[in-house]
Amino acid sequence: VWENCLNYIKDNIPEDAFSTWFLPIRPAKINGNILTIQVPSKFFYEWLEEHYIKILKSALQRELGSEAKLVYSILMDQKSQGRDPYTVRIPSSNKEKPQPQEVDTPIQLDKSRLMNPFVIPGLQKLKIDSQLNPNYTFDNFIEGESNRLARAAGRAISKRPGGTSFNPLFIYGGVGLGKTHLVHAIGLEVKELHPDKTVLYVSTEKFTQQFIEAVKNNNQNDFIHFYQMIDVLIMDDIQFLSGKAKTQEVFFHIFNHLHQRGNQIILTSDKSPADIQDMEQRLISRFKWGLSADLQNPDYNTRLEILKQKLEKDGIIFPDEVMDYIAQNIDTNVRELEGSLNSIIAQATLNKREITLELTARTLSKLVQTARKEISIDYIQKTVCEYFKVSMEDIQSKTRKRDVVQARQLAMYFAKQYTKASLASIGSQIGKRDHATVLHACKTVKNLQETDKAFRGYIEDISRKISD
Ligand code: ADP
Ligand code: MG
């Protein structure tokens, strides 16, 4: 039966695809109108389901009648055992009626007989530029309560890339907390300890651009092959895959391939896997396979240590009280800490002044003021409009369209949060409403923020946009 199916399929799809995806399949058993086939991996199963289900279905129906069913038996590789059931039973001809999950004992096949579709025989080890910044080392990365877990996991991975259960390692946290620094440090250390491993750092934006370019030039396969050959793939700011279905799909396949072969994957994001919006569920679930570790705002001592290290590197000495003042007052993130330090040094140098507490306080308060000054109600409205793709006219109008109402309420809420304007003044500037409407908007937003995860995501995104 399977032989006949294969002959039919062979005539209907490109030869490459046939040998890649159908030759490795083994017929396992047939029971009435149910055919069980054995596939090398879950990835294989998913790929077949996604790309070849139609042809499989018609081949099967030709052989076994319209009630034909297909059962996949997945030959697991060891490292994924225990995570997935051996057999995923799916009705191929009648998707509405889900069949009960059936666990078959997999037939142990001689592994060498299975073809791996992506291993190109005779391929040389690649030499690539890892794109790592030599300054972002573990030595320069101050350890603190806020980063202890992520750092320790990173260290463990550097010793045994792909050999720990931290695969993928998913590091998340707000802007400026050290995600990029930490993943570079891991990459550098891997290269030092395992010079034979191919390490690649890539920002998600660059990955996306490369993929778009590859599609345009019709060399997607080269793109995929390239990434599938990396031993340690570091992808920064994975949240930028949000809403990019095609790129998500190609990343999904690369991820599966790498993971299956025990190659290390390291990802960073500004949100936890569960909080990323517009991302395919199957990707989110894979992000959680290994270890998710967050980076938090550094505590006072860590901030002080970081300041000391930066100054030492530049050969500058600040009075203790100045150090204390900065560490006390700049408690947002490391990038701002560095920014403040640079401003103070610049102020002192420009004005040929000594670095005193007074100069420091003045410089920092100016920094805070300029940051605040730019946030006007107008700016908030623009940001919210842009985010929700509604126009300023809409917000100012009387319309009650749901998305406009939501944008309007959020603009009011943020105006209250970020400016000193009164409720009445906010109302008069946003859609000529009264102060009660603004108050109501603020309450609604706060409620939704507590009860609605997606909404919370919007608020976080927008406040980040407004304040950066
Ligand atoms: P993110 O990628 O999370 O936005 P970055 O990795 O770009 O943050 O870090 C911002 C800056 O702060 C970088 O210059 C980085 O070197 C520095 N930094 C972050 N965390 C630490 C740390 N624990 N020790 C020393 N420097 C740090
Ligand atoms: Mg970063």
- Tokens describing residue 110: 């001689």
- What pLDDT shows up at residue 173? 96
- What pLDDT shows up at residue 374? 60
- What pLDDT shows up at residue 125? 53
Is 262 annotated to bind a ligand? Reply is no
Residue 350 or residue 190, greater confidence: 190
CATH class of 300-373: mainly alpha
Q: Distance from the CA of 85 to the center of ligand 2, in angstroms?
A: 37
Q: Give dist(CA 425, CA 264) in Å, integer.
A: 54
Of the candidate CATH numbers 1.10.1750.10, 3.30.413.10, 3.10.450.40, 3.90.230.10, the domain formed by 377-467 belongs to 1.10.1750.10
pLDDT winner (highest mean) among 247-251, 353-357, 427-431: 247-251
355 lines ligand 1 (CB under 6 A): no
Q: C-alpha angle 337/340/345, rounded to 5°?
A: 130
H helix intervals, 244-291: 245-260, 281-287
Q: Which of 92-101, 108-117, 405-414, 450-459 has the lowest mean pLDDT?
A: 108-117
Is 444 annotated to bind a ligand? Reply is no
Whether omega for the bond prior to residue 319 falls within 30 degrees of 0, making it cis, is no
Among the bound ligands, the one closest to the CA of 306: 1
H helix intervals, 236-374: 245-260, 281-287, 300-314, 320-329, 334-350, 357-373
H or E segment to which residue 7 belongs:
helix 2-10
| pLDDT, tens digit (0-9, with 9 covering 90-100), for 41-99 | 766 777 787 778 888 888 988 888 888 888 887 765 433 333 333 333 333 444 333 33
Q: Is the pLDDT of residue 381 over 50?
A: yes
Q: Distance from the CA of 161 to the center of ligand 1, in angstroms?
A: 23
In CATH, the number for domain 145-294 is: 3.40.50.300
Is 198 annotated to bind a ligand? Reply is no
The mean pLDDT of 117-125, rounded to a whole number, is 37
The mean pLDDT of 258-281, rounded to a whole number, is 96
| ipTM higher than the 0.90 cut | yes
Check residue 84 and report its DSSP letter.
Answer: B
H or E segment to which residue 356 belongs:
none
- What pLDDT shows up at residue 412? 95
pLDDT tier at 21, thresholds 50, 70, 90: confident
Among the bound ligands, the one closest to the CA of 174: 1
pTM for the predicted model, two decimal places: 0.60
The mean pLDDT of 426-433, rounded to a whole number, is 91
Check residue 105 and report its DSSP letter.
Answer: P
Q: Which of 212-226, 356-370, 393-407 has the lowest mean pLDDT?
A: 356-370
In CATH, the number for domain 2-107 is: 3.30.300.180
146 lines ligand 1 (CB under 6 A): no
The mean pLDDT of 132-146, rounded to a whole number, is 96
338 lines ligand 1 (CB under 6 A): yes
- Tokens describing residue 337: 């800490």
Domain-by-domain residue ranges, the chain? 2-107, 145-294, 300-373, 377-467
Q: Distance from the CA of 140 to the center of ligand 1, in angstroms?
A: 10
